[in-house]
Chains A and B, each alone.
Chain A
Amino acid sequence: MTEPGARDRCVFTLCGNSEPPDPERASELPRFFYRSEVDADARTALLLIWRRNHFLRRGGAHVNASTLIRAARRSRQLTQEQLADRAQLDQGSVSRSERGRDAGFSTIDRLLAGAGHRLYSAPTRRDDAASAAAEIRERLREGDKDRAMRALLQLNDNLLAEHGLVRGILGLAEPESTKDPVWDAAIAALVAWRLGAEGIPLPDWVDQPGRFLTEPRSLEVDPADPVPPQFEVPDEFAARGVLAWRDTFASV
């Protein structure tokens, strides 16, 4: 594994304007943000995150810009027309960009700016919770819960592979709904579990009401899956009403 500072950088978007971080306010940040292993770029990014306390999403070069744009727009509860108006583009451009048509960087940047977002880099190439949610939603739409589960497990592995601030970054972006409440709750539970294990502050979205089930349910990946007893369910899953076995997220 290469050193964190030498790793390729992916791009993520951050809610808020583009003003640079104010080093004078560094004292307001928790000590956590200034652990020695955290490099300067991650600190810079997290400073902005801390100030805005509202994060959207990131995507690597292989992650569709469409996902970024759609999530940014929805997080601000804008219609495509409203975003087009703010970005001074026509509605068709927004629609095409969100449908995955290749768009130039300047168009992507204008659309994100219209939704109050901008791009930053983070020292990781791993996909985040928002990317995992997008894949889970697609798999569920296809009726393939097995592959939806693989995507959730991949998110678990990605979170475990990173530490400190970078792990936090993978969980910060608010995922779009998968259109299935139990999977939405499971994604939140997984992020809360893995970030909590390192004492990383949790993003607001993991505790939003829509991430909690009123009646406990399992993910129902396979009809032969047994339902776990309470003591086998991680606390973060139990709190959100998701009946998932702890060791399902363990590698053999």
Chain B
Amino acid sequence: MSSALDRDDIVTGLRELIAELRAADQVAGIRLVGGAALALRYFDRGTTQHLDSLHISPGSDEAVAAAAARVAQRHDWDPTWLNFEVTKADALPTLGREVEWETIHDQASIVVQVASKDALLAMKLRANRPGRDTRDIRLLLSLCRIHTLEECENFYEEFYPGDGLAPRAVSIVDAIFAEGPLQAPESPEPVVL
């Protein structure tokens, strides 16, 4: 079973998911965050284990999960390759600056969106897992044009009011800025689903 999904896998999976939902006459809205959103929209990135998704109304999580399971079976992927665990993890900022979404597909009542780079950076700063989030943070800082720790702290508080950057996140951001000017990553080709 291949559970590690690269960008091509993600695009293939989403296309087939859309086809499955359409064939089942389903209406659905899928919002992507995490590694899949980064790989699809913002920069080349290593494989991601799952597509962290939020399902928005209308439509049902069950219908999307069932369609995703059919796609998984076809490719010998983990049945949970697209899941909604991130919803339960309370990772999405909800109290501060509103998360913006970019629509990458909107046809026949099926909508797929990815979170803005700003929201993804805020989430990565919150997670700040060394070895896992550091490269993403570096590239997102560049894309979001944040150049100092102070700017980064203010940015973070916009999404998570009253909640400062964790000391470990400060350490990572400090070390990144100490490397010198940030290099902007190359944008991937626009995705067509």
Q: Which residues of A contact B (CB under 8 A)?
A: 1-2, 8, 10, 60-62, 124-127, 144, 146-147, 149-151, 153-154, 157-158, 161, 219, 221-226, 228, 244-245, 247-248, 250-252
Contacts and interface: CB of A to CB of B under 8 A. Distances in A.
Contacts, number: 94
Nearest to B175: A224
Contacts of A149: 46, 131-132
B91 interface: yes
Given A62-B76, A245-B131, A252-B89, 17 more contacts: A2-B79, A8-B76, A126-B3, A147-B46, A153-B132, A154-B47, A154-B49, A157-B3, A157-B49, A221-B130, A222-B131, A223-B175, A224-B176, A226-B172, A245-B129, A251-B85, A252-B123
A247 B129 contact: yes
A248 B127 CA distance: 9
25 contacts: A8-B76, A10-B1, A60-B76, A125-B1, A126-B78, A127-B1, A147-B46, A147-B47, A149-B131, A149-B132, A151-B47, A153-B132, A157-B49, A221-B131, A221-B134, A222-B130, A223-B175, A224-B176, A225-B172, A225-B175, A226-B171, A226-B175, A248-B131, A251-B85, A252-B34
Contacts of B134: 221-222, 224-225
B129 A223 contact: no
B189 interface: no
A228 B132 CA distance: 14
Contacts of B129: 245, 247-248, 250
